Amino acid sequence: MEKKTLEIKDLKRDFLMGEETVSALKGITFTVLAGEFMTIMGSSGSGKTTLLNIIGCLDKPSSGTYLLDGVDIEKLSRNELARLRNQKIGFVFQSYNLLPRTSALENVELPMMYNGAISSKQRKEKATHALEQVKLADRMGHMPNQLSGGQQQRVAIARALVNDPVMILADEATGNLDSRTSYEIMTVFQELNDKGKTIVFVTHEPDIATFSTRTITLRDGRIIKDFKNDNKRSATEVLKALPVNEDDKI
Amino acid sequence: MNVSNLLRIAFRALQHNMMRAFLTMLGIIIGVGAVIAMVAIGEGSKASIQAQISAMGSNMVTVRPNSNVAGGVRLDATSVQSLSLDDVQALLKQGQYMSAVSPGVSSKGQVINGSLNWSTTLQGVSPAFLDIRDWPLKSGVVFTDKDVSSAAKVCLIGQTVVDNIFINGEDPVGQVIRFSHIPFKIIGVLGKKGENAFGQDQDDVIIAPYTTVMKRIMATVYLQNIYASARNETVTDSASGEISTILRASHRLKPTDADDFTVRTQAELINTFSSTSKLLTILLTAIAAISLVVGGIGIMNIMYVSVTERTKEIGLRMALGARGIDILYQFLIEAILISITGGVIGVILGVAASSLIRIFLSWPTLVSQSSVVLSFMVCALTGVFFGYYPALKASRLDPIDALRYE
Ligand SMILES: Nc1ncnc2c1ncn2[C@@H]1O[C@H](COP(=O)(O)OP(=O)(O)OP(=O)(O)O)[C@@H](O)[C@H]1O
Ligand SMILES: [Mg+2]
């Protein structure tokens, strides 16, 4: 019996907009096993971000149950949720959400600021390492407004990796990247997955989905397809096959 | 989250908004600076009055005739005739707590030395007076009891008088001067005393035996003052009570009669002046404290703006694992940092202002340690108090709502 990381049952999320109620999720049920690399696809407005926010313990469902590592999220206090977000979950936001006027390095250090067990020396080392992983070693001192969109996205990825979480949630983490860089990022995610981390990855691109082991497709707040991908592509090999082109350089 | 991380975050935030942080601090800076300078002025004047009054001889007790109401007409002290030499005798004879008693009369007039003249006061006292006032001689000798009984025309002169009628620097001792046409032989020069607490020049005086002044100058048998000296500082109140009792008996006052004299100790004088300057200090401090509160409200205002402005940042921090209390501390520390930095600058400014006031306006100022410590603590409290609510508001935000905030 494999360990279930996520167990979601009949999850619903309604937003009250004055008189109207917008149902972003209309009953979602699925289970993610530990070590799975799952992608969520679906058209814009289908509820992917809403679902990911709930999985990331940022938002609470209107109804339904959500067990994370067997623990009912509903029953946790605000502080316990904060601890969970800090140490178990790495979140890559669709809109990056970097702190303005704060260097890339410090942005990556941010989650560790809220982890008392990490010394400032360790913090710096880990942040540097995470930035190296996303190939941003030469941009550590740059402020977000001195970075390109893709570079900002990579800082956000480094920040999600840095606290060594059990589960990484990424909302369109490659949405702004050229295909070469996308593959490089996918290499990083696949490596993390090989190390046993559970990954939930929201994407629009079917091409990206082929690097995962499973893809669920949402439409209008419901799962319309749950596809198990038995021959996942290796991002490292795809990258090798790619012609070396000067224009593709970062 | 540990304190150094919190401080780092707070420093960063202030660094990003230096100008705003400084402007917010300004209220606190002015408030603390004002408190310290105001208290320094109050304390300084109090201390200098106390020093001056005790320089007059802290054991001294003075008696003045009461300007009691006679048929609705208030008479001034010189024309009230209630103190006499008999009273002095009674005090000398019956006093337990007094070490010395001297009668006192004084007359204003012109003193002449050759072609120079000067308007001054002639005081008639007994030799004990100089002990009572704790007033040493600069040169010469004090007149004796024999001089008193013979109403000798001898005198001691104060430094201001010396400066005005002996302008060539000659030795006044042995010279003869005239006061109201009476020649006086100078037998001593008084040590310099400077101004008293009321701003009068104490050295502008000529002192002669009281008999001489009463008989030859004023032609009176009544006294304007009786000066006495308590045995030591602790019995001044007993001495003052004793004087009242003796004088009432000597004046044959009925128990229902009011005193026809007033007894004053130096301690009472000090208290009178201290209480006025205490009131001044309280008033000034209140004004300054109000400006501190205004400064605090400034902090609160800015912190609210800051929390609203940084809602997204708060959401992000929470999403990355900050607990409510981390956010609370972050904003609280920011507020405290503003107020304490403002406080430090304010203290420096206040101390500098007090020094400038002392140097350029020559007002006595005294920066009291307690005012520095107190205003500093008030500052920190201001930060906590006015920073708490905005910080609490921040800490209660919902992560996803805050993150979505535009
Ligand atoms: N806070 C909110 N208040 C009201 N409606 C919301 C809110 N958040 C999301 N929605 C609605 O829920 C639906 C799903 O939104 P969601 O952000 O999950 O879409 P998505 O699948 O991530 O789209 P995209 O691919 O464009 O990012 C949308 O119709 C949106 O309008
Ligand atoms: Mg989305």
| pLDDT at residue A82, as a whole number | 93
Cβ of A114 and B320 within 8 Å?
A: yes
Report which protein residue has its CA nearest ligand 1's atom 31. A45
State how far the Cα of B334 lies from the Cα of B318, in Å rounded to an integer.
18
**Residues B332-340: what's their mean pLDDT?**
89
Instruction: Return the best residue to mutate from A49, A205, A216 for the ligand 1 pocket (most ligand atoms within 8 A of CB).
Output: A49
SS3 B13: helix
Cβ of B316 and A97 within 8 Å?
A: yes
8 Å CB contact between B323 and A83: yes
Q: Which residue in A16, A55, A58 has the most chain B C-beta atoms within 10 A of its own C-beta, making it the best mutation to test that interface?
A: A58
Instruction: Return the best residue to mutate from A22, A28, A216 for the ligand 1 pocket (most ligand atoms within 8 A of CB).
Output: A22
| pLDDT at residue B67, as a whole number | 62
**C-alpha distances in angstroms, A30 versus A165, A198, A218, B235?**
21, 15, 12, 96
SS3 A176: coil
The distance of B11 to chain A (nearest Cα, Å) reads 12
B352 or B362: which leads in pLDDT: B352
Q: Domains (ranges, CATH) in chain A? A: 35-60+77-249 (3.40.50.300)
Strand blocks (E) in chain A: 4-17, 20-33, 37-42, 63-68, 71-72, 89-92, 167-171, 198-202, 214-219, 222-228
| pLDDT at residue B59, as a whole number | 80
The distance of A29 to chain B (nearest Cα, Å) reads 22
Q: pLDDT band at A246, cuts 50/70/90? A: low
8 Å CB contact between B111 and B206: yes
Distance A174 CA to ligand 1 centre (A): 19
Task: Give me the total of CB pairs closer than 8 Å, taking one residue from chain A and one from chain B.
Answer: 63
Q: Is A23 in the pocket of ligand 1 (CB under 6 A)?
A: no
Share of chain B above pLDDT 70, in %: 94
| pLDDT at residue B286, as a whole number | 82
This prediction has a pTM of 0.72
Q: Which residues pair with B214 in a beta bridge?
A: none
- Dihedral of CA atoms B239, B241, B244, B249 in degrees, nearest 10, equals -100
Cβ of A86 and B2 within 8 Å?
A: no
- The per-residue pLDDT for range B275-325, each reduced to its tens digit, is 776 787 788 778 777 877 888 888 888 888 988 999 999 999 999 999 999
Alpha-helical runs (H) found in B64-221: 85-94, 128-132, 145-149, 159-165, 210-212
**C-alpha distances in angstroms, A165 versus A28, A112, A123, B5?**
25, 11, 15, 21
pLDDT at A113 over 70: yes
In sign, the C-alpha dihedral spanning A109, A115, A120, A121 is negative
**Residues A241-248: what's their mean pLDDT?**
68
| pLDDT at residue B406, as a whole number | 78
8 Å CB contact between B329 and B383: no
Residue found by looking up tokens 């705003």 in the block = B20
Q: Which residue in A81, A96, A110, A114 has the most chain B C-beta atoms within 10 A of its own C-beta, making it the best mutation to test that interface?
A: A114
Residue B357 burial (10 A CB sphere; 0-12, 13-18, 19+): middle
- The per-residue pLDDT for range A71-108, each reduced to its tens digit, is 999 999 999 999 999 999 999 998 889 998 899 999 99
Number of H-type helices and E-type strands within chain A: 8, 10
**Residues A209-237: what's their mean pLDDT?**
93
pLDDT at B269 over 80: no
**C-alpha distances in angstroms, B56 versus A205, B133, B135, B389?**
98, 6, 8, 56
Q: pLDDT band at B238, cuts 50/70/90? A: confident
Q: Is A24 in the pocket of ligand 1 (CB under 6 A)?
A: yes
Q: How many CB atoms are closer than 10 A to CB B197?
A: 17
- Backbone φ and ψ of A8, nearest 5°: -115, 130
Residue A117 burial (10 A CB sphere; 0-12, 13-18, 19+): exposed
**Residues B260-282: what's their mean pLDDT?**
76
| pLDDT at residue B78, as a whole number | 52
State how far the Cα of B87 lies from the Cα of B98, in Å rounded to an integer.
14
How many CA atoms does the CB half-sphere of B327 hold within 13 Å?
A: 33
Cβ of A114 and B321 within 8 Å?
A: yes
When the pLDDT of each residue in chain B is averaged and rounded to a whole number, the result is: 85
State how far the Cα of B364 lies from the Cα of B172, in Å rounded to an integer.
34
SS3 A22: strand
**Residues B32-37: what's their mean pLDDT?**
86
Spans of all domains in chain B: 3-52+272-404, 81-259
pLDDT at B20 over 90: no
- The per-residue pLDDT for range B38-49, each reduced to its tens digit, is 888 888 877 877
Chain centroid to CA B33: 21
Which helix (H) or strand (E) segment is B379 a member of?
A: helix B369-395
